[in-house]
Amino acid sequence: MVNITEKSNTLRTAIAEAIVKVSKIETIQAIENDTVPKGNVFEMSKAAGLLGVKKTPDLLPDCHPIPIEYTRISYTIEGLEIRIEMEVRTIYKTGVEVEAMHGASIVALNMYDMLKPIDKGIEIGTIRLKSKKGGKTDYKDKFLNKKDLKAAVIVCSDTISAGQKEDKAGKAIIAKLEASGVQIKAYDIIPDEKESIHAKLNDYHQQGMNLIIFTGGTGLSSRDVTPESIEPLLDRKIPGIEETIRAYGQNRMPYAMLSRSVAGVKGESLVLALPGSTNGAKESMDAIFPEVLHVFGILKGAGH
């Protein structure tokens, strides 16, 4: 199965269609008059379709078990054709298009089974996905050319700046930025000291950096001063970014509740202070990128 552990939950919707074609008008009349010997075709097929949606991962090996939170089945009769529309919704990490198509196909098969005693010429036609929403493709920022974004990554660590350890967190952040199409214009390693942090933040803000990301110095030790150093220089904090990072981490390990990540804006620069551990930095970036880049559309007055 595809690894979806790095994805975030979003509302996902899929609508699928299947077509059942009968061979005579009397079959349609029997359905409408509820005189089919095996019972009410629409209601029994609806029940079968609901089971089909829920049983999708039991039959298709690469489909993830998904919390199905809403289904809708509707029928439209056009001449000798019965159009089946199946809508499925979930709030989860992966989409429900296969579940919707599987459910629609089961509805069609159940109709075939119920109608075959009175009509030997039934056909099941196209089974297709009509539409889907949710996931990263629906949250691409229309107002932003990511190639224009410039980023500075600053590692705040006494031991790394002294050459006693190798930086991995900063490099993980850079890898995620590059994958998101952001240009890396600066990469620095400095001591976790207030004066050094202030100097770098002010310098890169004056240079017009869109993203200024610090990693390290967010622990609870008295030596960890990055959040306290950054917060007074921000024009406005963005608590939602901090909350998203913390919630994402908390779902993966219990110590994330101790995180002291900081997010805010200084002018038109987005400033982030992320954990200094490699996993902490990587998960923080996974939690908010690339969606956080929408902030630049808002700053320019194009997004909402």
Q: How many domains does the chain have?
A: 2
Say yes or no: 178 and 206 in one domain.
yes
4 inside domain? no
Tokens of 4: 């979806």
Question: Considering just the CA atoms, what is the radius of gyration of the chain in Å?
Answer: 27
Q: What is the pLDDT of residue 135?
A: 73
> What is the spatial distance between Cα 54 and Cα 50, in angstroms, rounded to a whole number?
6
Say yes or no: 48 and 71 in one domain.
yes
pLDDT in tens, 159-204: 999 999 999 999 999 999 999 889 999 999 999 999 999 999 999 9
Q: How many residues does the chain have?
A: 304
Q: Catalytic residue among 113, 141, 203, 224, which?
A: 113
Say yes or no: 174 and 279 in one domain.
yes
Q: What is the pLDDT of residue 143?
A: 46
Cβ pair 230, 220 in contact under 8 A: no
* pLDDT higher than 60, residue 141: no
Q: What is the mean pLDDT of residues 6-12?
A: 88
Buried b (16+ CB within 10 A) or exposed e, 224-263: bbbbebbeeebeeebeebbebbbebbeeeeeebeebbbbb
Closest to 77 (Cα-Cα) out of 121, 120, 29: 29
Say yes or no: 155 and 88 in one domain.
no
pLDDT in tens, 219-233: 777 777 888 999 999
CATH of the domain at 232: 3.40.980.10
Q: What is the pLDDT of residue 180?
A: 86
Q: Which residues constitute the domain of residue 193? A: 146-299
Say yes or no: 191 and 215 in one domain.
yes
CATH of the domain at 88: 3.30.70.640
At 57, is the pLDDT very low, low, confident or very high (cuts 50, 70, 90)? Answer: very high
Q: Which of 100, 135, 170 is the last residue of a domain?
A: 135
Say yes or no: 244 and 291 in one domain.
yes
Q: Which of 135, 163, 192 is the last residue of a domain?
A: 135
140 inside domain? no
pLDDT in tens, 59-106: 999 999 999 999 999 999 999 999 999 999 999 999 999 999 999 999
Q: Please provide the average confidence, as pLDDT, over all residues in the chain.
A: 92
Q: Which of 135, 159, 182 is the last residue of a domain?
A: 135
- Give the pairing of strands 211-215 and 269-274: parallel
Q: What is the pLDDT of residue 300?
A: 74
266 inside domain? yes
Q: In the annotation, is 113 catalytic?
A: yes
Residue 211, C-beta contacts closer than 8 angstroms, at least 6 positions apart = 149, 150, 151, 152, 177, 182, 269, 270, 272
> What is the arrangement of strands in the sheet containing 70-78, beginning at the earlier edge strand?
70-78, 81-92, 10-21, 123-133
pTM over 0.75: yes
Say yes or no: 279 and 161 in one domain.
yes
Backbone dihedral region of 250: left (phi > 0), alpha (psi from -120 to 50 degrees) or beta?
alpha
* pLDDT higher than 70, residue 304: no
